């Protein structure tokens, strides 16, 4: 078993569902990113627009104002940075600032494939049928997500993106209710055998809160458990807020496995 890489989340927003805007200022966001790396993060995922249900949209100019200083500072330290954005202009500016990967929860902008193709950056293809938190109907959630992601891969390749750039994300919490999220997690093996790396993001999401309650500590414990189980299903990476807990459970699994 190969230990999954860990993406530590840095939200440069005033309305994040997970930290309440604690890292909205650039200096605080940079310090938090450095602390996450010290805790064991392999990547820092920087976002300037909240994707929680009901969040107000942020224009690309404001998004770039929030995140570019953070990305430049972290990249200058040799840290692998991903940018969490739905806007092609922001993605391009972030890559110019030192980001190495585009994490796009929407996939809706028709100009994004050109940015990915021209820069050669790695790109997360996330499953999403609509707004976060709005459940949809599935005949077989794991199978439907697999098929829809593969259609998106084909569409990106047709636009000139190299398939080797693409990372799949099942989109936990996006257009899925709690039962669908758990069913999708049980079917992760149907994604990890497709030949593309899989990035999983469960951290502190609503279905975790339904299970664990409002305590961030309890939600992070439940999240760490999903990271351990995801590692056993062969995911490439997990995206989390509590890097230390995730690192500990993955190190424990690695020691148990004797690898």
Q: Stretch 123-132: mean pLDDT, rounded?
A: 84
The active-site residue, picked from 64, 122, 219, 239, is 239
Lowest mean pLDDT among 16-30, 43-57, 61-75, 103-117: 16-30
The yes-or-no verdict on residue 131 having pLDDT over 80 is no
- Does the annotation mark 239 as catalytic? yes
The active-site residue, picked from 66, 205, 219, 247, is 205
**How do residues 181-223 score in pLDDT, each as one tens digit?**
999 999 999 999 999 999 999 999 999 999 999 999 999 999 9
The yes-or-no verdict on residue 135 having pLDDT over 90 is no
Q: What does the alpha-carbon distance between residue 173 and residue 201 come to, in Å, rounded to a whole number?
A: 9
The yes-or-no verdict on residue 17 having pLDDT over 60 is no
Q: Stretch 26-50: mean pLDDT, rounded?
A: 96
**How do residues 158-187 score in pLDDT, each as one tens digit?**
999 999 999 999 999 999 999 999 999 999
- Does the annotation mark 205 as catalytic? yes
Q: What does the alpha-carbon distance between residue 163 and residue 153 come to, in Å, rounded to a whole number?
A: 7
Q: What is the structure's pLDDT at 50?
A: 78
Q: DSSP alpha helices (H): ranges in the chain?
A: 26-39, 60-76, 88-96, 112-119, 141-158, 178-186, 189-192, 206-212, 216-232, 243-257
Q: What is the structure's pLDDT at 22?
A: 59
Which domains does the chain carry?
5-257 (3.20.20.20)
**How do residues 141-163 score in pLDDT, each as one tens digit?**
999 999 999 999 999 999 999 99
Q: Stretch 30-47: mean pLDDT, rounded?
A: 97
Q: What is the structure's pLDDT at 53?
A: 64
The residue with tokens 């995206």 is 239
Alpha carbon distances (Å) from 208 to 154, 156, 173: 32, 32, 10
Q: Check residues 132 and 114 and name the one with the higher pLDDT.
A: 114
């Amino acid at each position: 078993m190969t230990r999954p890489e860990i993406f530590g989340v840095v939200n440069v927003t005033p309305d994040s569902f997970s930290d309440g805007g604690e890292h909205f200022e650039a200096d605080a966001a940079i310090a938090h990113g450095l602390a996450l790396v010290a805790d064991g993060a392999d990547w820092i995922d920087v976002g300037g627009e909240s994707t929680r249900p009901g969040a107000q949209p942020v224009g690309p100019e404001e998004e770039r104002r929030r995140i570019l200083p953070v990305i430049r500072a972290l990249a200058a330290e040799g840290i692998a940075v991903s940018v969490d954005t739905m806007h092609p202009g922001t993605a391009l500016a972030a890559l110019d600032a030192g980001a190495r990967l585009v994490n796009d929860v929407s996939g809706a902008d028709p100009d994004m494939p050109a940015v990915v193709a021209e820069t050669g950056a790695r790109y997360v293809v996330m499953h999403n049928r609509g707004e976060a938190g709005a459940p949809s109907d599935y005949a077989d959630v794991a199978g439907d997500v697999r098929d829809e992601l593969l259609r998106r891969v084909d569409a990106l390749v047709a636009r000139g993106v190299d398939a080797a750039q693409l990372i799949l994300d099942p989109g936990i919490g996006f257009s899925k209710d709690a039962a669908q999220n758990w069913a999708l997690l049980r079917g992760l093996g149907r994604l990890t055998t497709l030949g593309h790396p899989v990035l999983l993001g469960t951290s502190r999401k609503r279905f975790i809160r339904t299970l664990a309650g409002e305590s961030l500590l309890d939600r992070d414990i439940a999240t760490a458990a999903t990271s351990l189980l995801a590692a056993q299903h062969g995911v490439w990476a997990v995206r989390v807020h509590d890097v230390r807990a995730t690192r500990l459970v993955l190190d424990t699994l690695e020691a148990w496995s004797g690898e």
